[in-house]
């Protein structure tokens, strides 16, 4: 018992949680956007379809959908799932790569994934489901959630500042939650399975791209923007 208490005292888990300002910012932005878009669609009667990442519309130049679809949630359930995964993984990623890098990677990975989804794989999607089909697979920060996996792996690979044993256990638990919630099959989804699989792949690839950018900038000694948290 004494040994376990000593381990807890030596753990940096509490420091990781208290330093997660970027994680808190992401959650607050997602909540704010949910309330904002709920007001716009319910009070001002702005059509919901104008906010979604419709492939055909983006290909026609309606690029604002890349931004709005990232932070648009139609109801509480997907928002809660996204926030749970963010709270489970992002503090550990943030501890290793810093708050600015986490926030930018979270949103940029979604934008990159959507552009890849539409312009890189748009032909496959249109030939599969038709050009006029609305694609809902990547609304509500879905691609950002899938992008967290490569970033979490990067957090494990970065040696300093080190994770304590408790922090590693919680991070592993967060990854299990990630796979349970993030990849849990949704029987109500209107998209064909191939669309969901393509969107997941785009999210992972965009997260991998952001992770490589972070590694490159961390190795560039003159750039302190992506530096890790100083260890105590």
CATH code, domain carrying 214: 1.20.1540.10
Q: Exposed/middle/buried for 70, CB within 10 Å: 0-12, 13-18, 19+?
A: buried
Highest mean pLDDT among 5-9, 114-118, 207-211: 207-211
Q: Give the SS3 label for residue 36.
A: helix
Q: Is residue 37 part of a domain?
A: yes
Q: Is residue 91 part of a domain?
A: yes
Q: Exposed/middle/buried for 91, CB within 10 Å: 0-12, 13-18, 19+?
A: buried
Q: Is residue 202 part of a domain?
A: yes
* Residues 57-73 pLDDT 10s: 787 888 888 888 888 88
131 secondary structure, DSSP code: T
Is 96 a residue whose pLDDT tops 80? yes
- pTM (2 d.p.): 0.81
- When comparing pLDDT for 20 and 120, which is higher? 20
Q: Is residue 170 part of a domain?
A: yes
* Residues 125-173 pLDDT 10s: 666 665 555 444 456 677 898 899 999 999 989 888 888 877 888 888 8
136 closest CA partner among 194, 54, 62: 54
d(CA 51, CA 112): 17
> Residue 106: what pLDDT?
96
Q: Is residue 229 part of a domain?
A: no
d(CA 29, CA 10): 33
Domain encompassing residue 206 = 11-218
Q: Is residue 65 part of a domain?
A: yes
Q: Is residue 172 part of a domain?
A: yes
42: its two tokens: 């319910």
* Residues 40-55 pLDDT 10s: 888 888 887 777 777 7
Residue 5 CB neighbours (<10 A): 9
- What is the number of domains present in the chain? 1
Q: Is residue 227 part of a domain?
A: no
> Residue 134: what pLDDT?
45
Q: CA 190, 186, 110, 125 torsion: positive or negative?
A: negative
pLDDT band at 210 (very low <50, low <70, confident <90, very high): very high
Least confidently predicted of 12-21, 42-51, 173-182, 210-219:
173-182
Q: What share of the chain is helix, strand, coil (3-state, %, to 5)?
A: 70, 0, 30
């Amino acid at each position: 018992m004494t040994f376990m208490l000593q381990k807890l005292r030596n753990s940096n888990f509490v420091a990781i949680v208290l330093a997660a300002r970027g994680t808190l910012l992401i959650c607050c932005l997602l909540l704010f956007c949910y309330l904002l878009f709920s007001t716009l669609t319910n009070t001002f009667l702005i059509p919901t379809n104008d906010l979604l990442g419709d492939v055909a519309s983006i290909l026609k130049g309606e690029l604002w959908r890349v931004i709005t679809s990232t932070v648009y949630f139609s109801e509480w359930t997907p928002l809660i799932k996204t926030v749970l995964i963010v709270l489970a993984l992002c503090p550990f990623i943030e501890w290793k790569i810093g708050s600015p890098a986490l926030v930018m990677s979270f949103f940029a990975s979604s934008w990159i994934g959507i552009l890849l989804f539409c312009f890189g794989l748009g032909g496959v999607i249109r030939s599969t489901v038709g050009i006029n089909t609305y694609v809902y697979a990547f609304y509500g920060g879905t691609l950002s959630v899938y992008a967290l996996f490569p970033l979490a792996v990067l957090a494990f690979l970065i040696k300093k500042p080190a994770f304590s044993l408790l922090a590693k256990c919680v991070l592993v638990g967060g990854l299990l939650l990630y796979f349970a919630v993030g990849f849990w099959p949704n029987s109500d989804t209107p998209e064909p399975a191939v669309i969901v699989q393509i969107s997941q792949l785009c999210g992972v690839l965009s997260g991998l791209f952001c992770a490589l950018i972070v590694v490159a900038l961390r190795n560039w000694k003159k750039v302190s923007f992506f530096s890790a948290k100083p260890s105590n």
